[in-house]
Structure 1
Amino acid sequence: MQTVRPYDGMSITQDTRLEPGIYALPNGIRIDADNVTIEGDGVHLVGSNYKGVGLAAKGRRGLLVKNITLSNYYYGVRFDDCENVKLSGSTITRTAEVEPYLHFLYLWRPVEQAFGAAVMLNNVDQAQVEDNDLQHQQNGVLMYGCSRVTVARNNTSFNSGWGIYLAGSSDNLIEDNTSDFCNRVFRRENGTERVEADTAGLAMVHGCSRNKILRNRFRCCGDGIFIVGYEHPGVINGCDDNLIEDNDCSFCPNNAIESTFCKGNIFRRNICSGSNY
């Protein structure tokens, strides 16, 4: 495995160990080959003005990225049209975030207009996002049109939007994550302020079906779990036949679990204590 010093706009096409250090790379790094491993122990890539992507791949397969730190990008890691990829042991924080108080988050943004996040997966099949620290930004993991993805043992707490968000994504496994305190204060026209704005530890929209949501912690969020089968104006696209089991959704000021316009979902042994509903 080669060891190289990262540089701005770098293209990686073989197994690479990045030389430890802190690097200002506003244009990030691209992975431009299949079957590539990147080791980032001791490496911190820093973006500029919450724009761009720290580490990106499009149309690739067989990728492994581990133990890297990224901050100050729009997306820390973004994989588009990829298969069999893994991100593990990494810290991604302080990605793009909309201003406080002013924004009631719109749940149905298309991928082209998606909010910033630590991790963006778009049309990805067979991926693993495991054992990462994805705290302190707007969103932890965004998944658009994904299948057979495992999101496990990540910490996506203290985000001001969604810890984990799925849109049009089915047959995925979300297990053993901690997504506490994912909320934001919204200021209404009359000046009153509430913790709301459709924030959630986990949000699912656009027909997310047959997912397994197991043993996660979604405490003190706007909603613990928010599953939405309705989109204004009157479009029904149910998130159906999901298994939601053994999650802790306690102390959410709105709903511990909200599921609307969906069918066949199973809710079993979830803790919903101390929430408004």
Structure 2
Amino acid sequence: MVALFVALAGSILSAQDPAWVGKTRFFGANDDQCVYEVKEDNVTLDFKEGVILSGKPVNPDRSQLTGTGLLIQNRKNVTIKNLTVKGYRFNVRVVNCENVRLINCQASASRTLRMANEGKAIDTFLDLRNIETWRTYGAGFWIEGSKDVSLTKCSANDAQNGVILVDSTGCTLLDNDFSFNSGWGICLGRSSDNQVIWNRADFCNRPWSGFWGGDSAGIAVADSSHRNYFVGNSMTHSGDGFFLTHKGDQFNEGTKTVTLHGPSNDNVIAYNDGSWSTANAFEGTFSTGNVYYQNWACDSAAAGFWLGYSDNSLVLDNKIYRDGTFGVAIEHGKQNLIQDNVINGTKGAAVGLWASGDWKAVARPSERNDVVGNKLKDNALAYDLRNGRGAYIKDTSVENSPARQMTESLVASAPNTSNRSETFTRTQLAKVKELLALRPKDFRYYRELDLPKGIGWLQAGDWAPTNFAGQLAAWRQPDPGCLEMYLLEAGVRIAAPNFVQYDPTPEDPHLVRISMKPEAADPGRDQPIQLNMATTDSKRRQQINTFLRTAVWNIKWFAWPRMTYDDVDGWKALFAGNPIATQTTRALGGDFTGRSPMAGVPSDHFALAAETKVKLEPGKYVFSSLSDDGIRVFLDGQEIISRWNHHGPTPDEATVTLDDQPHVIRVEYCQESGSAVLHFDWRKL
């Protein structure tokens, strides 16, 4: 049951004097209150750039925002135009309505869970499968129990969630911007037969476990959401670009059964871009009959398409380039068709159709899947069919993508899903073409814009990923000794101190790279730096304050035999022996998964010992690491971080007090198998 709301500033009636038109009004609200409530049907209300704010200023602690800015409840045929609402748990809330139109409305800076504090990430794994939890999160736009609601040219940024639909049907989201949020740009729960078309939901992400993700997504779909069309959306640089799943499941080893609750079925996902995601470009799990057609799934950290426990899916004619683990991955799925895709440069298998080696392979087998007409090139592996059965493989071309031996039990001699793509063409493709024709003339995918691209451009603000819209330059530090700026417009002047140099950037004319001039400084230091930028007319300015690190790491690389982690004498002997390679660099670590970290070093069972000497300002410092596998960190010979075992990417940190004397830092790291990650840094408190 929806609670009754108290309208603090009054109800909006068409006959009222429009005191809110073109004005900025300030009203706080508790969670059982709204500022304005629309109280009539069949009205058009043009706020003419009017603004509703929860405070003067809005509470900077966005996790404490409460109330609703504008409420439309139990109404029909209402149109709202040209309104800005900021600073509430729900900026705009539409409940039990029919035929509501929101046009050119802005609802940014709604309630948000903090994601970083003074530069330190705060891990929060979002609860995508519990709609009641969504209510505690809040949203820019919350639409519930409604039919035929449309949002056009609206925006909700710099918060946790852009727009959430619950128990709603027949709704259309067209030409909106829900980018730069820390949860979900667009989210559907128990909502079916909706159209989500030509929207921007880029950079929807949050820190998680030393990286990014935490079940954030550009577009998220859960709990019995069926027959929706997602067409033409840009959702890059997010946790998952697109994430579809169920409500829950029961894995019962005793009865050897897997029971799914609330799957989201028969959705069409076409002409979307989920590239540069920190997990999967597209994830669609525990579901049946979903179609993925003509999408971009490129340069993501994990899979292009991760469709675990999904059946009767169609993955047709997608561009899948340079993804981190798989091109298309379906564990424990059956009768899926992967057809006519281009899969290039995957670090793992181009196509994975497998099952675990336990009872789940019987309860939910990987079987009767078809892989036909695809073009595979430069993948670490063509197919991963472990513990599967009866897959039909007939691709157009397989180039520089080695294939494991496939036994008769793994492969079939005839197609299993011969009419799946024909069914899509006959029953759903016409609707896709109809929605393609609605592309706004000024719509551009993020990939088409002259803006920074790549996971490395994700930067964590306190409440949401850093939004560089309106700035002169986006900036990042790929390592502490270097600063990169991506100029967002022409004619920007940069004033920098004379101890830095401009490094060449032939790869991109928009990119400016700055580093310290070579010096013989030993020990290294953290040099404060201020950059001042201005337009040619000096009317717009931007200042960057950070530091450049001069410390140089001396690294020794080793190949280690298969000894145990507790072999203390063995590791001492290894690091005291002759290295297979040496290196001098200001940047220590990286993601070495599936590759050699440098020439002459193997791609697994390698180790390093790195040392540097620094002289820093006295005070407290946090030394932090992210490792996969073993890591030990020593400060002046004393071990301050120790995780010397086989593990996945895991963060560690230690707080120490430093004086103004030189200090020696030593990092020992080893990689055993699987993924390989090493990041190490320090910061002053």
TM-score normalised per structure 2: 0.38
1:9 to partner: Cα distance: 2.5
Q: Which whole-Å deviations, capped at 9, do the CAs of 1:70-129 have from their partners, x for residues lacking one?
A: 111111100111111011101111100012113211012334752211000010101101
Name the counterpart of 2:226.
209
Pick from 157, 163, 170 the counterpart of residue 141 of structure 1.
163
Pick from 97, 118, 130 the counterpart of residue 112 of structure 2.
97
Moved more, 157-166 or 125-134: 125-134
Gaps of at least 5 residues in structure 1 are 1-6
Name the counterpart of 1:31.
38
Name the counterpart of 2:139.
117
Q: Is the 8 A contact 1:63 1:85 kept in 2?
A: yes
RMSD: 1.6
Name the counterpart of 1:252.
277
DSSP 3-state at the match of 1:38: strand
Aligned partner letter, 1:62: N
- Hey, which of these two has a bigger chunk of strand by percent? 1
Name the counterpart of 1:170.
192
1:133 to partner: Cα distance: 1.7
Pair member with larger Rg: 2
- Hey, which of these two has a bigger chunk of helix by percent? 2
Pick from 100, 104, 122 the counterpart of residue 85 of structure 1.
100
Structure-2 change in CA distance of 1:123 and 1:230 (3 Å): closer
Distance 1:88 1:260 in 2: 34
Q: Is the 8 A contact 1:111 1:144 kept in 2?
A: no
Name the counterpart of 1:108.
129
Task: Tell whether 2:276 aligns with 1:261.
Answer: no
Count of residues in Structure 1 that have an aligned counterpart in Structure 2: 266
1:33 to partner: Cα distance: 1.6
1:43 to partner: Cα distance: 1.1
Q: Is the 8 A contact 1:249 1:271 kept in 2?
A: yes
Q: Is the 8 A contact 1:14 1:36 kept in 2?
A: yes
Distance 2:148 2:15 in 1: 20
Name the counterpart of 1:3.
none
Percent of aligned pairs sharing the same letter: 29
Name the counterpart of 2:23.
21
1:51 to partner: Cα distance: 1.0
Q: Is the 8 A contact 1:86 1:129 kept in 2?
A: yes
Distance 2:168 2:27 in 1: 28
Distance 1:147 1:19 in 2: 31
Distance 1:202 1:113 in 2: 15
Structure-2 change in CA distance of 1:238 and 1:33 (3 Å): same
Distance 2:38 2:189 in 1: 25
Distance 2:126 2:15 in 1: 39
Q: Which whole-Å deviations, capped at 9, do the CAs of 1:212-248 have from their partners, x for residues lacking one?
A: 0000001000000000025155642111111100001
Distance 2:133 2:270 in 1: 32
Aligned partner letter, 2:238: C
Q: Is the 8 A contact 2:127 2:133 kept in 1?
A: no
DSSP 3-state at the match of 1:255: coil
1:42 to partner: Cα distance: 2.5
Q: Which has the higher contact order (CA 8 A, sep 6+)?
A: 1
Gaps of at least 5 residues in structure 2 are 1-6, 30-34, 60-64, 116-121, 251-258, 304-685
DSSP 3-state at the match of 1:213: strand
Distance 1:12 1:121 in 2: 19
Distance 1:251 1:52 in 2: 35
Moved more, 101-110 or 124-133: 101-110
1:44 to partner: Cα distance: 1.1
Q: Is the 8 A contact 1:111 1:122 kept in 2?
A: no
Q: Is the 8 A contact 1:184 1:199 kept in 2?
A: yes
Q: Which whole-Å deviations, capped at 9, do the CAs of 1:232-276 have from their partners, x for residues lacking one?
A: 556421111111000011110100001111111111000001012
Distance 1:67 1:42 in 2: 5
Q: Which whole-Å deviations, capped at 9, do the CAs of 1:131-161 have from their partners, x for residues lacking one?
A: 1121111001000000000001000000000
Name the counterpart of 1:64.
79
Name the counterpart of 1:242.
267
Moved more, 11-20 or 80-89: 11-20
Pick from 160, 178, 195 the counterpart of residue 212 of structure 2.
195
Moved more, 7-16 or 90-99: 7-16
DSSP 3-state at the match of 1:92: coil
1:13 to partner: Cα distance: 2.1
Distance 2:211 2:288 in 1: 30
Moved more, 67-76 or 14-23: 14-23
Q: Is the 8 A contact 1:163 1:200 kept in 2?
A: yes
Q: Is the 8 A contact 1:36 1:63 kept in 2?
A: yes
